Structure 1
Amino acid sequence: MSQTNSDHTYNTPAEIDEIHARLTRTFYSGVTRPLAYRRKQLLQLARMLQDNHVAFEDALLADIGKPRLESSLSEVVHCLTNALTAADSLETWAAPKPCPTTAAWRADWGATLHKEPKGVALIISPWNYPLVLTLNPLIGAIAAGCPTVLKPSELVPVFSQLLATLLPRYLDPTAYAVVKGSVPETTHVLGLRWAHILYTGSSRVGRVVAAAAAAHLTPVTLELGGKSPAVIADDADLTLAARRILHGKIQNAGQLCVSPDYAVVSRGRVGAFVEALKSAHAEFWPEGDHPLTGNAPLSNIINASHHARLVDMLKRTKGKIAFGGETHGQKGITPTVLTDVPEDDVLMEEEIFGPILPIIAVDAVDHAIRVINSKPTPLVIYLFTDKEEIKQKFLQRTQSGQLVQNDVVMQLAVNEMPFGGQGESGCKYTASFDTFTHLRGYINISSAQEPFLQGRYRPYTDDKYQFACAPGKVKIPDA
């Protein structure tokens, strides 16, 4: 029997075990392997989103106060489009891939990479973009032929309940399921054996997930965010940069793994950049409107404890508030920009994950690179410049999951590009067909090859030895 925590109904350990066993049986039955089955499930997922578009908007509005336009554009329609694209692309994605060989005597072995489903997958998703970070990976898993358990965050209970209700109505319940719960339930889920685990969230929990996966030698994908900088070079258009950076920063009130975490600007341009940010703010909220109480308020800060953390950072920072800094109840903070922020300030210690933008003043591009490299590898670097030499400097002297030039967040719109981090910002790539696919190598050595293979058999002779050593005696070219 399921346990109830306040208004949440969570799955019991017995129910979780039954779900895992059910999906495992389904995988080994071979039901999910045919492309026709996968295509049907993808189309049903798209139909679920289309039929319940407003219901999903309602859920995100109830859980995190997300404006309907943002929910529609970045979550519902985004996933619906991706599901249809995957359905149309299945034959191409799943086609076996020839593996050319360099040696002529291996040419007729038929070396091939077959794309096979890894098995039953687990997707653990966060609260900040609950629909897209749950269903986008599911699209990849369905396309790959993997039965999948979804574990959405307990911090979005309305969304989790809606997904748990709708999924078995549209998708095969023997292959796809939702597990609801908090830390104990997630811990139990992680104790089971999975073919692949995909987790999106914090670095702290990412370490827990990685350790649990290691117990079963389970491959894992981690998407962890981090402090992604926005670097404004001296040739950048400040008006355009300010509008785009502020727009990215206020998405979901800054609670986005690829949100621009801080801005890096040369000292002589800080004042002008702040004025450009103020102008952009006035453009987004004209006179009479307000970010927290107006016509289209910012999304909520997810809970009181996270709100208190952000307020405490604003109290402890050595930076000066250029504008913003207002709070509303326990879930609202206005877009806030700070100047004179030291490189070792409290705002620079960890990912902010809120509508707060500290500005770090630097002497030159090389100084900006040193600031970035002094911190863990970010998920993305946003670079505002039109100079090729500056772009090359960042490509060659910095590390990040992605490098985006002259905009923010828009890399998420390029579905064909791998998405993932390095080190503290994550590992491997997320939400793709390839993530849940095993490349199974295949060769066929016919009996006609036997004359070429005689040298491997005993008894070992000096002639066989000399033949084996011959490839190692080639002339190595000078560097």
Structure 2
Amino acid sequence: MTTLVSTIPQIRDALRATFRSGLTRPIAWRQHQLYQIARMAQNERELICDALKKDLGKPKTEVLMNEIGSTIDIAVKSAQRLPEWAKTEHPEVADWQKPWKPTIYKAPRGTVLIISPWNYPMILTFQPLIGAIAAGCTAVLKPSELVPTFSQLLEELVPKYLDPNVCRVVNGAVPETSKLLELQWDHIFYTGNGRVARIVASAAAKHLTPLSLELGGKSPVIIDSAYDIDLAAKRILWGKCNNAGQICVAPDYILIQRDKQDELVKAFQKHYNAFFPDGALDSSLFGSIVSDLHHKRLTSLLSRTKGEIVLQGRADAARRRLEPTIVKDVTDGDSLLEEEIFGPILPIVPVDSLDQAIDFVNARSHPLVLYAFSDNESMKQRLVSETQSGGIVFNDTFQYLAVSELPFAGVGESGYGYQFMKYTYDTFTQLRSSIDMPKDVEQHLAIRYPPHSEEAVKALTAAVYTPIPSSSL
């Protein structure tokens, strides 16, 4: 059910009043809410799987593993580690400053807005919410209108498990999102595409609202010709098949030595036949494309490519199905390199050297992740030092998301703001600095008061004349 636009300011104001009441401050209260998120995911897993099957055609195992299981794992771990994260810190300072009691308090930012996407609507809604609740914030969740069954289920389940004075769901499309963005928030966490991110950022700028933008882009794969091509193909294809390629970290295109391209193609064909012996079109292990519009976009990209389709994925527009499709001999300027594919199409771009591959990546917007398959440590270090991306993953795809202790973030066009576990907690936390000056140090502070004697000036400006060590260069 769509939320009435006229009620949205009231929802925000009620959450802000809750935050100011101090309800969310106790650590034990936050832990209880986090465990409730885990219970909701666990208890309602069948309803969640059914909703995502209806909206996205998602395989049940994929939902249980990547959405429900991940939500439970992050919620429980965050609750367990929260007391350590939330500890007041006392930084190490010079002895003469220790009586001032320098302190860093962990303060919640306040009332926050979380706008989540359609492709992984469970984990990409609750992953930021877990961090917000852990930090002591109140939150509005705005799920995507492109997954209506799940979004309606969310509206029903959240108040059953979480304190409705602390977390509310707003459903709707552009009018409802526009009203949300008119309001002032203490942080906005948006996951989606760059076009909408610019709208969100512009709206946030009017209130100087801090932002986290988790976007995407064309995440490349570079394959070292000396690497096991068969294994690389297997791992890349698996990463591309998750949610039918509709994920921000999906491998988007491959750069490989020209004389190894055909070997790679054969390996893809082999592993595709192993994954889907009867094809993926009717497989319960392969998802659907989210909408007719996105299906048309993907088939249009394929109709315009100048590359050679070497693994022809069948399409069924009526059911929004599209099988994995491999295209070789793709060159700069091709339709498949225009935008993030966000679907089960994988172009192969042949190159003549590692230098050419690095230049190809660097000539484009910084990706969310760079994948590379190599056992050569020198090559790995070149990629670390000579490219930019949100993350860099060696010898696998997708699976690095399972390491929730690593920070996850984009750079440039792929977004900004860190998340996962403590990094999400930190996103929604203000580090509030403090000192408490004792009365009995007044004699030591006397030097700062005017008028200043020559001796006082010398002491106050001593740092200007600090000896600077010689460089080793």
Name the TM-score class by shorter chain.
Answer: over 0.9
The one-letter amino acid paired with 2:293 is S
Deviations, residues 393-436 of structure 1 (Å, cap 9, x unaligned): 01100001101110001121011111110010001113511111
Q: Which residue of 2 aligns with 1:123?
A: 114
Alignment partners' CA distance in 2, 1:390 and 1:30: 53
* Structure 2 counterpart SS, 1:275: helix
**After the TM superposition, which residues 4-403 of structure 1 pair with which residues of structure 2 at under 5 Å, given as runs?**
9-101=1-93, 103-286=94-277, 289-294=278-283, 296-330=284-318, 331-403=320-392
Unaligned runs of 5+ in 2: none
Q: What CA deviation, in whole Å up to 9, does each residue of 1:111-159 have, x standing for no partner? A: 1211111001110000000000001111111111111100000000000
| Partner SS, residue 226 of structure 2 | coil
Distance 1:51 1:469 in 2: 64
1:474 — aligned with what? 466
Query: In the alignment, is the contact (CA less than 8 A) between 1:378 and 1:421 conserved in 2?
Result: yes
Indicate the SS of the match to 1:98: coil
Confirm whether residue 417 of structure 1 aligns to residue 409 of structure 2: no
User: Take 2:206 and 2:61, find their aligned partners in 1: how far apart are those partners?
Assistant: 42
Q: CA deviation at 1:366?
A: 1.3
CA distance in 2, matches of 1:418, 1:112: 25
- SS, match of residue 264 in structure 2: helix
Q: Is the 8 A contact 1:322 1:337 kept in 2?
A: yes
Q: Secondary structure of the residue that 2:461 maps to in structure 1?
A: helix
Aligned partner of 1:5 in structure 2 is none
For residues 360 and 309 of structure 1, the distance between their equivalents in structure 2, rounded to whole angstroms, comes to 21
Q: Secondary structure at 2:279's aligned position in 1? A: coil
What amino acid is the match of 1:316? R
**TM superposition shift of 1:239:** 1.2
In 1, the alpha carbon distance for the partners of 2:138 and 2:242 equals 32
Which amino acid in 2 is paired with 1:239? D
Deviation at 1:297, TM superposition (A): 4.8
CA distance in 2, matches of 1:113, 1:469: 27
Paired residue total: 467
Return the TM-score normalized by structure 2: 0.97
Kindly state the Cα deviation for residue 212 of structure 1 after the two structures are TM-superposed.
0.8
| Distance in 1 between residues matched to 2:209 and 2:332, nearest whole Å | 38
Q: Distance in 2 between matches of 1:232 and 1:110?
A: 54
Give the SS at the match of 2:419.
coil
Residues 256-279 of structure 1, C-alpha deviation per residue, up to 9 Å, x if partnerless?
000000011110100101111111
1:408 lines up with 2:385 in the alignment? no
Distance (whole Å) between structure 2 residues aligned to residue 355 and residue 375 of structure 1: 21
Separation (CA, whole Å) in 1 of partners of 2:465 and 2:428: 42
Q: Once the two structures are superposed, what CA deviation does each residue of 1:329-360 show, in whole Å capped at 9, x if it has no partner? A: 24111101111101221211210001000001
Partners in 1 of 2:52 and 2:353 — Cα distance? 42
Structure 2 partner of 1:6:
none
CA contact (8 A) 1:290 1:297 kept: no
What stretches of structure 1 of length at least 5 have no aligned partner? 1-8
Q: Secondary structure at the match of 1:10?
A: coil
SS in 2 for 1:97: coil
Contact 2:108 2:137 in 1 (8 A): yes
Q: What is the alpha-carbon root mean square deviation over aligned residues?
A: 1.1
Measure how far apart 1:108 and its partner are. Answer: 2.7
Separation in 2 of the partners of 1:118 and 1:167? Answer: 22
Query: Which of 194-203 and 42-51 deviates more?
Result: 42-51
Q: Residue 450 of structure 2 is aligned with which of 458, 462, 466?
A: 458
Q: Which amino acid in the other structure matches residue 281 of structure 1? A: Y
Deviations 1:169-222 (A, max 9, x none): 111000101000101100100111111100000000011111111111111000
Residue 452 of structure 1 deviates from its aligned partner by 2.0
